[in-house]
């Protein structure tokens, strides 16, 4: 139970920073990009099989949710689009490199800030947002952190 509460607190803090710490310049989109590929393990998920576009609405602390579109490319790059529901200037885009950790955890690296976001590959049709150790959310809310391949 203590672990569940700690995980929930960490995830909530990350989401609060995500919603409240956004740079929301008027009518501007923050776009990061890079084209350098890097993976950290030889035995890992097959990015060719995982490559594709994943969509879903992630929970948020101060808005109804974050519509998320994550495109994973076989060359270890990604594109991420997030729209914060009912938030003025609530659109964010990033692209960069991803690293594969522990065989099935994708670490998305935002080039401009060095910020990391983690997703675990569940199968070739879904990924789930995790903490930095690859721990998945638990309980009834776990299903809210899943993005499905389109």
* Structural element, H or E, at residue 49: helix 47-50
pLDDT at 112: 87
Average pLDDT, rounded, for the chain: 79
3-state SS, residue 4:
helix
54-69 pLDDT, tens digit each: 999 999 999 999 999 9
* Residue that has been written with the tokens 């890079």 in this structure: 34
* Contact call for residues 129 and 118 (beta carbons, < 8 A): yes
Tell me, yes or no, if the pTM score tops 0.75. no
Burial category of 65 from C-beta neighbours within 10 Å (exposed 0-12, middle 13-18, buried 19 and up)? middle
């Amino acid at each position: 139970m203590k672990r569940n509460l700690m995980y929930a607190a960490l995830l909530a803090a990350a989401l609060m920073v995500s919603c409240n710490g956004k740079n929301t310049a008027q009518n501007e989109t923050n776009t990061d990009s890079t084209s350098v590929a890097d993976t950290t393990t030889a035995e890992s998920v097959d990015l060719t099989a995982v490559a594709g576009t994943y969509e879903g609405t992630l929970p948020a602390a101060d808005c109804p949710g974050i519509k998320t579109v994550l495109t994973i490319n076989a060359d270890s790059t990604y594109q991420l689009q997030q729209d914060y529901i009912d938030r003025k200037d609530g659109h964010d885009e990033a692209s960069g490199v991803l690293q594969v950790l522990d065989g099935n955890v994708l670490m998305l690296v935002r080039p401009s800030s060095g910020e990391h976001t983690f997703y675990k590959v569940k199968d070739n049709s879904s990924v789930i947002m995790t903490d930095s150790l690859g721990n998945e959310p638990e309980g009834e809310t776990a299903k809210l952190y899943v993005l499905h391949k389109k």
